[in-house]
Amino acid sequence: MTKEDKYAALIPAVHSLMSDEPDEIARMANLAALLHNEFQFWWTGFYRVADGDQLVLGPFQGPLACTRIRLGKGVCGTAWAEDRTVVVPDVEKFPGHIACSSESRSEIVVPVRFKGQVVAVLDIDSRELGTFDEVDANWLEKIADCVYGPQRDIWFAAGCFWGAQKFFKMIPGVEFTEVGFANGWVQNPTYEQVYTDTTGHAECVHVRYNPEIVSLKELVGLYFKIIDPLSLNRQGEDEGTRYRTGVYYEDERDFDILSKEFLRLEKKLGTELAVELRHITGFFRAEDYHQDYLDKNPGGYCHLSPEIFKMAAKLKKK
């Protein structure tokens, strides 16, 4: 088996490990184990960007390693600073190489990006000289891109967040959801505080999705199906500014996509929507008992009709 074949055979396992787990440390831990065991490297692991100017040791397999590396230092700090993969056939010939283990002879470091920024590096050491080449670089870059995937975030306020979370969780391409409070003026509000309607927050679902499976345009189209877009501060029986509707984005480019869909619906309905379209200025995760509330309480209160969930259940993975 060539190493190309080995890498190619690993990809399905990488995808399933990465998409089944929302916690990044857990994903890195299993990825390090998968690569390490498959290739019997000497050291396989991650360093994560911390405090803006250094890397801190993350999940790894192999002997003990140094815990902190400064921007631009060593192979890891160089790969981070220059935002590129660095292949080192002989570590002794790399000026500034940091020898965590005297047995390491060659090394490869690949940047791990999230939303275009380097947030970690994948570092692999070998006890032989010249272990890594372009083939490793290409495959490991693909694999490093899977750590965060091409995921994007958007926040939907759709009235009571219990039913809204259940709905968004059912949509193929949605990889993670959490409920919380968006765009108010109090830090870390409790549900009780938000309930008084004095903190400015809207009950909201944070949706993380894979744009290769579901687009923002499709998501906002589905969102419009679960709200009354003309109702101000009221959805179903729930009334108050905390139950207002809104779409909150973090990436300005999303505004163009969203505003087109808002306009399209306004034209169709012949009137202005009562739905906010704003930058996300703050999101605070709600207490644990609100997360996945209707999974934990199947008969619990839900302002959305059963037809909405039937519709969501019919959505097919592309």
Tell me which residues touch ligand SME (CB under 6 A): 43, 65-66, 69, 74-77, 97-98, 100, 104, 107, 123, 125
Spacing of C-alpha 235 from chain mean position:
29
List the catalytic residue out of 76, 160, 204, 302.
160
Work out the number of other CB atoms within 10 angstroms of the CB of residue 279: 12
Rounded least distance, CB 91 to ligand SME, Å: 7
Distance, CA of 60 to CA of 278 (rounded, Å)? 40
Closest CB to ligand SME among residues 24, 107: 107
SS3 107: strand
Rounded least distance, CB 123 to ligand SME, Å: 5
Indicate the pairing of strand 245-249 with strand 152-158.
Answer: antiparallel
Closest CB to ligand SME among residues 107, 218: 107
Return the half-sphere exposure (C-beta side, CA atoms, 13 A cut-off) of residue 88: 28
Closest CB to ligand SME among residues 47, 156: 47
Residue 160 designated active-site: yes
Listed in sequence order, the residues at least 6 apart from 113 whose beta carbon sits closer than 8 Å to its beta carbon are: 119, 144, 145, 148
Listed in sequence order, the residues at least 6 apart from 100 whose beta carbon sits closer than 8 Å to its beta carbon are: 43, 63, 64, 65, 66, 125
Closest CB to ligand SME among residues 91, 304: 91
Whether residue 202 contacts residue 174, with contact meaning beta carbons closer than 8 Å, is answered with: no
Written as one string, the DSSP assignment of 157-183 is: EESSHHHHHHHHHTSTTEEEEEEEEES
Closest CB to ligand SME among residues 125, 203: 125
Return the half-sphere exposure (C-beta side, CA atoms, 13 A cut-off) of residue 180: 18
Catalytic site positions = 160
